[in-house]
Amino acid sequence: MNIAHIVYAKYWGGGEQYVYNFCKEEKRLGHQNIIITDSKQTNIADKFKEVAIVADTPMLGIKRFFALRNYLNVIDKYHIDILNCHSGTMSSLCAILKILRPNLNLIMYKHNLKPSKKDFYHRWLYSKTDAFICVSKLVYKLQLDNAYPENIKKYHQIYNGIDTALLFTRKNYFPSKPIKIGYAGRIVENKGISILLEALKILNKKYNFPCELHLAGEGNKTFLKKCNDIVSNLGLKDLYHYQNFLKNMSKFYQDIDIFVLPSIVKESFGLVLCEAMYSGVPVISTDSGAQTEIIDNGINGLIVETGNAESIAQKIIYLTTEPDKYKNIAEAGYLKVKENFTIEIMIKKINVLFSDLLKHNKIK
């Protein structure tokens, strides 16, 4: 198969890692991958070049429609069978490409928790889409609750999967001192970073519990400055460690004792949770979305109330002062991911769908 992905992104996050892992596994299976991304986002393009052919094209604003010929040239040059759209911003353009190249199989990926819309434009858009892939049960249910009857069969729920080859599962399940708390992903407000900083303050100031916070990922410069100002004002600057995008995430997970995803926005999945769990790191997350599909509370991780810094602090103390519980949760987390959320499992299911679409459209 010749598989293309349209990726609209300014920062590297879970969605981009999803596409990266996707292409790496398809490449291993012998399929050709082409990624079409914005020509100005060289950092995104350079990363994707490791696993796919990259065609950079204008995507910002109305420029993408003037670059329509560029997209068609890529589709024709590489004889694209499957076009994967990972952004609602690019969906109308993809529908136009489907009209101009009817043999193209158009797949829309639902990476967020927005319900399907009912209006003339979206009905037209959905009619041009061959299939929708929802990355969690929560996303799938939200789509079906508001879907047009004629489109219901187009929706498929296939969990995200992580590339386990990039991760090393540790054998030492004893936390260090001071406790190292980790977070990886986009460094933005709605990920609950401010709540995590408050938990850091509570642990050190209220409970006199020695710990430090390690963040990894790209983010908005304004918000990063805000984080620096917060820890400075709290007198916690020496306990706050920020690193930009890391190529070797395995080392990051090996160096931390607890992973916390404190999102205040509803998460459609949680790739970083899976990465941490597979690495043998106990995880804590909020009840704000599909995290509860990954974490069985108290068995392979802990779930806390969204926005509750005190609860995060208490769970960190609980886990790192109960060696048996810490070890049991770490081991159960590894097994949960190994059996459910690997890239091999994900791509196997997606390729079955792709094959069905190719056969069906060929018959037509």
When pLDDT is averaged across residues 200-207 and rounded to a whole number, the result is 95
The domain tally of the chain equals 2
Residues 197 and 331 reside in one and the same domain: yes
Answer yes or no: do 282 and 269 share one domain: yes
pLDDT, tens digit, 9 for 90 and up, residues 287-307: 989 999 999 999 999 999 999
Q: Buried (b) or exposed (e) across 115-151, using 16+ Cβ within 10 A?
A: ebeeeeeeeebbebbbbbbbbbebbbebbbeebeeeb
Q: Domain with 313 in it: what CATH number? A: 3.40.50.2000
Same-domain check for residues 98 and 187: no
At residue 362, the pLDDT reads: 61
Segments forming the whole domain that contains residue 251: 165-340
Select from 52, 105, 109, 55 the least CA-distant residue to 81: 105
Residues 187 and 277 in one domain: yes
Is 201 found in the same domain as 293? yes
Residues in a beta bridge with 187: 219
For residues 199 and 271, membership in a common domain is answered with yes
Helix/strand/coil percentages in the chain, nearest 5: 50, 20, 30
Q: Do residues 295 and 334 share a domain?
A: yes
Looking at the structure, tell me whether residues 324 and 357 fall in a common domain. Answer: no
123 and 173 fall within a common domain: no
Residue 97 CA to residue 76 CA, distance in Å, equals 11
User: If pLDDT is split at 50, 70 and 90, which confidence band does 364 have?
Assistant: very low
Encoding tokens for residue 358?
A: 């190719």
Are 294 and 341 within 8 A, CB to CB?
A: yes
Residue that the structure tokens 């706050």 belong to? 240
Measured CA distances, 11 to 47, 66, 113, 157, 264 (Å): 11, 24, 19, 26, 19
Confidence of residue 343 (pLDDT cuts 50, 70, 90): very high
User: CB-hemisphere CA count at 13 Å for 14?
Assistant: 23
Give residue-wise pLDDT tens across range 134-154: 999 999 999 999 888 999 999
Shared-domain flag, residues 100 and 82: yes
- pLDDT of the residue at 321: 92
Q: At residue 308, does pLDDT exceed 90? A: yes
Same-domain pairing of 180 and 275:
yes
Same domain, 147 and 49: yes
Q: How far apart are CA 328 and CA 319, in angstroms?
A: 10
